[in-house]
Structure 1
Amino acid sequence: MLNKFFYKIFKEHFSVSDATAVYLNLVTNLIIFSLLGYVLFKVFRFFGRKAIRKMANKTSTKFDDLLIKNRTFLNLSRIVVLIIVFNLLKQILEDFPNIFTYSERIVTIAIIFSIIWFIRSILLSVKDFLRTTNAFKDKPLESYVQIFMIVLWLIAAIFSFSVLTGKPLIRFLTALGAFSAVLLLVFKDTILGFVSSIQVAVNDTVRIGDWITMEKYGADGDVVEINLTSVIIRNFDNTISSIPTYYLTSDSFKNWRTMNSSGGRRIKRAVLIKINSIRFLTDDDIEYFKKIHLISDYIEEVSNEVNKYNKENNIDKSVLINGRNLTNFGTFRIYLDKYIENHPKINQDMLLMSRQLEPTPNGIPLEIYAFSKEKVWEDYERVMANIFDHILASVKYFDLEVFQNPSSIDINNLKQTKPSE
């Protein structure tokens, strides 16, 4: 027999004892056996890669390319070699039954884990392939792969312990049932993450690529990965935030996806107008404002309406407060409405207005509420800045003042001003 070949050589040609010949035969067989296994592994992998690459070049799908990328055939080659090793062990270790028993168990465990790695490579290939499709490119596929692998690793661990100890599998399953409370505690975050990832996918609250904000955790950026334990966010300052997945269902966050898919990004900002700069308009003011292109028609129409009302009701206009009047503040609001309505970067199909908010100790907030067509952060900020540049520059034409806390220069100038005698 092949396993006795070197035993006979050592026994007949080198005249060694039976015990020595047995051990020398074992060592020689193991060396040859290891070299043969290594060569077989390299041969299987080489021809397998060559065959798969040739097949991949003939197909239009990228799935076979992903199988190569995730080393699927490499893991399959390991399984084939280990099965061959398993079948030859009995002959090589015929004279060492105790070693054979433990070696057989070790090789069996190696086959189990090699199968797990092979399944993992296929799952990763499927995940990568689904990621290239529009239906799954923004879904948390990593979570499903990870939970499936955890289950497989648990099954592999149970089988491995059963093989290693030689005990029936039912004993480990019984012990596992008693140990379930501890397992739930150990894998608490994993279980919560799995449940949360399913809720996120079913409710479609977060997708990969979404811009989300979680101020509590300092996250403000794009989601690049959702897995069982964490959500990876690349912030706009190029830092990375990692947030536990179950926080997506237990805590509040802001998702900007609907803004990106809508017709505009909201502008909601106010300037503070000094209350004591607000006044009624005189006839001279009205004639002056008629020269402003955006509100000339409005001033003409409303001033005629006001004059008609005051004449019909015999209002004494020697005192300006009597009757109906226009104000510089109200006219300025109309001007801003017209300005926003004519702005090329503002979506005219969405809500837009300038509005007066509740007075504050620092003045009356005059807020612009509109939606910019530009939704990219840089372009959006530029549009909003241009609008408020215009507002701040045009305030003085309506004889209004913007509130600003006095600076040290203002205070110093005030001190240097001499009182008039």
Structure 2
Amino acid sequence: MYKIIEKIFTFLYPIFRKWGLGSTFASYLSLVLNILVLCLISYLIYLVFRFVLVKVMAIIARNTKTRFDDILVANKTEKYIAHLIPLLFIYKAVPIILDRFEYWESVFGKLVGVYIVLLLLWIIRTIFSSLRDYLKLKPRYSDKPIDSFIQVIMIVFWLFGLTVIVSKIFDINQNELLTILGAVSAVIILVFRDTILGFVASVQVAINDMVRIGDWITMERYGADGDVIEINLATVKVRNFDNTTTTIPTYSLISDSFRNWRGMLNSDGRRIKRHVLIKTGSIRFLNDTELENLKKIELISAYIDTRKAEINKYNLAHNIDKSVPVNGRNMTNFGVFRKYITEYLHQHPGLNKEMIMLCRQLQATSQGIPLEIYAFSYDKRFENYEYIMADIFDHIIASVGYFDLEIYELPTEKSIASSGI
């Protein structure tokens, strides 16, 4: 192949000399024409190999059962390989074209060599990314930290690639370069420890898209709760909601846990998750008279009729003795209250009806039974979110008495005096 390339790019100069052109002018003219020919041939090689590789990979992907080749196609691996082949051709042709221009031969040869190394690293990255996506489809690897393994492997490849690039640019033997780096690495790590940690953290934060400027984050260890206003090599600045500024070491973002609220802000609602404690002693069965009174509440009128009919049908079918309320099936004031709150939530204009909406009973505690609201507000702005949540719980607290329920609270001096204790 080298002889073919040599024949292509060396025949012009002798022709120009035979035509009587000077040596310098013939050299420059042949150089310009050879560069044009090189660009044309390289582009044709690229088009041919891209067409062939894309077609071949598409055929293989369609006719094989494995999904790995489909993922390779999705990651455009064959297109990057198609870029590599004309680059190799250029790399072989540069010393021949620039044979009479030693300085430019060295410069362009190094630049093309560096580009080839970077392109090889990118092809390796797409292959490993495809392998990662493929393994994630396998149930046996679904709980494995595949991303971490791939990142470690790619770091090794990038370090090796960088040593190749440095040795190529400065004409240093790679083994000598590795020896020098090993000798000074201990000193570098000791002197620039914080800078290195910050740099590594900055790269990981950027690659994994952990934090962006403008994100609302919470990091309790540093007292940070606000918007990120600056990310640099050593620190991340957060403007808290009280207008104070907290400075967090960048490395802490990958070594410690923090909460990023971006997902909530980008979602369709902000979660409301709060409960009130209902006194256990206030929960009881309801009799017919009480049910008739509760039917006046419009939101649960139809529910009480339907539920009461179902319970009566069951009790009659099983000959239940209803002289004792605990026998058979019954309705409780707490159950009816939960249904009322559920209906109230569905009627509330500030809640997103397309997301989860629950009024649920949690595990009983020594202070009572928690009644929790789990829903999402349309408006995610802090002040409006707090208003919506307060409005819901204002209603819950005010309506508890209509169902003869009580909310638990610690005894006060007034309550103790009124009880006569």
Under a length normalisation based on structure 1, what TM-score does the superposition of the two structures give?
0.56
Give unmatched runs, 5+ long, in structure 2: 1-178
Which of 361, 383, 398 does residue 393 from structure 1 map onto?
398
**Residue in 2 aligned with 1:214?**
219
| CA-CA distance at 1:244 after TM superposition | 0.5
Q: Measure, in 1, the Cα distance between the counterparts of 2:180 and 2:287.
A: 93
Find out whether 1:323 has 2:295 as its counterpart: no
Q: Measure, in 1, the Cα distance between the counterparts of 2:285 and 2:322.
A: 12
Deviations 1:215-265 (A, max 9, x none): 111111000001000000001111111010011111111000000000100
| CA-CA distance at 1:180 after TM superposition | 4.3
| CA-CA distance at 1:187 after TM superposition | 1.2
Give 1:380's aligned amino acid. Y
Find out whether 1:361 has 2:393 as its counterpart: no
**Residue in 1 aligned with 2:412?**
407
**Residue in 1 aligned with 2:259?**
254
Q: Measure, in 2, the Cα distance between the counterparts of 1:293 and 1:263.
A: 30
| CA-CA distance at 1:312 after TM superposition | 1.7
**Residue in 2 aligned with 1:75?**
none
**Residue in 1 aligned with 2:79?**
none
Q: Measure, in 1, the Cα distance between the counterparts of 2:317 and 2:214.
A: 64
Give 2:345's aligned amino acid. I
Q: Measure, in 2, the Cα distance between the counterparts of 1:409 and 1:304.
A: 44
**Residue in 2 aligned with 1:141?**
none
Q: Measure, in 2, the Cα distance between the counterparts of 1:412 and 1:327.
A: 31
Give unmatched runs, 5+ long, in structure 1: 1-173
Find out whether 1:372 has 2:377 as its counterpart: yes
**Residue in 2 aligned with 1:338?**
343
* Higher radius of gyration, 1 or 2: 1
Q: Measure, in 2, the Cα distance between the counterparts of 1:384 and 1:186.
A: 52
Give 1:269's aligned amino acid. R
Find out whether 1:299 has 2:304 as its counterpart: yes
Label 1:313 to 1:226 Cα distance change in 2 as closer, same or farther (>3 A). Answer: same
Q: Measure, in 1, the Cα distance between the counterparts of 2:366 and 2:214.
A: 43
Q: Measure, in 2, the Cα distance between the counterparts of 1:412 and 1:289.
A: 32
4+ residue runs of structure 1 moved beyond 6 angstroms? 174-177
| CA-CA distance at 1:183 after TM superposition | 2.7
Q: Measure, in 1, the Cα distance between the counterparts of 2:375 and 2:344.
A: 12
| CA-CA distance at 1:177 after TM superposition | 7.8
Q: Measure, in 2, the Cα distance between the counterparts of 1:351 and 1:175.
A: 60
**Residue in 2 aligned with 1:268?**
273
Q: Measure, in 2, the Cα distance between the counterparts of 1:301 and 1:413.
A: 41
Give 1:200's aligned amino acid. V
**Which SS does the other structure have where 2:268 is aligned?**
coil
**Which SS does the other structure have where 2:271 is aligned?**
strand
Q: Measure, in 1, the Cα distance between the counterparts of 2:259 and 2:208.
A: 15
The residue correspondences of 1:19-418 to structure 2 (distance < 5 A) are 179-414=184-419, 417=420
Q: Measure, in 1, the Cα distance between the counterparts of 2:182 and 2:308.
A: 86
Deviations 1:151-189 (A, max 9, x none): xxxxxxxxxxxxxxxxxxxxxxx9998554223212111
Superposed CA RMSD in Å reads 1.7
Under a length normalisation based on structure 2, what TM-score does the superposition of the two structures give?
0.56
